[in-house]
Amino acid sequence: MKEIATLGNRTFLGTSQYLIPPNEALKLQLLFDQNDAVSLSSPVKISINIKFYNDEKSNPSAGFSPQKDGTADFVITNWNSPLGTSLNKPFELVTIEETHIVDLMLYNALIGETNFITLQFWIREL
């Protein structure tokens, strides 16, 4: 079975869920190829490190920090509700070959001290 879904002008790529113990980072590699967008000339690999921080002095936030090794840290701060926290709109994750944008929807709930994260990936043409 292949799932086909759209959200506005986006096409669904996939959903991933992970349980992340305290003080650990998720290393995630995403590979986009012609199965995701026919017009891609070659596969594109993106490496992301997902890190969680809890700091009572800061508001909840999420954002990228590029690293020298070519990866990016996606830092999620104070998403520590047991009921869950979610993005309110798709986050532009990456532009591929100046023809497509991959968007991310994100949900996280804290179970005890363990983060339960759901990542949903969508692609759209520019």
pLDDT tens over the chain, length 126 residues: 888 999 999 999 999 999 999 999 999 999 999 999 888 899 999 999 999 998 888 899 999 998 999 899 999 999 999 999 999 999 999 999 999 999 999 999 999 999 999 999 999 999
The answer to whether the CB of 53 falls within 8 A of the CB of 47 is no
Q: What whole-number distance in Å separates Cα of residue 108 and Cα of residue 22?
A: 13
Taking the model in full, what pTM does it have? 0.91
Q: Which residues pair with 71 in a beta bridge?
A: none
Please give the full DSSP string across 66-114, using - where no structure is assigned.
E-TTS-EEEEEES---TT-EE-SS-EEEEEETTTEEEEEEEEEEEETTE
Residue 39's nearest CA partner among 124, 99, 126, 122 is 99
Phi and psi at residue 47, to the nearest 5° = -115, 125
Amino acid at 27: K
Query: How many residues are recorded in the chain?
Result: 126
**Edge-to-edge strand list for the sheet holding 26-32:** 26-32, 44-53, 72-77, 61-66
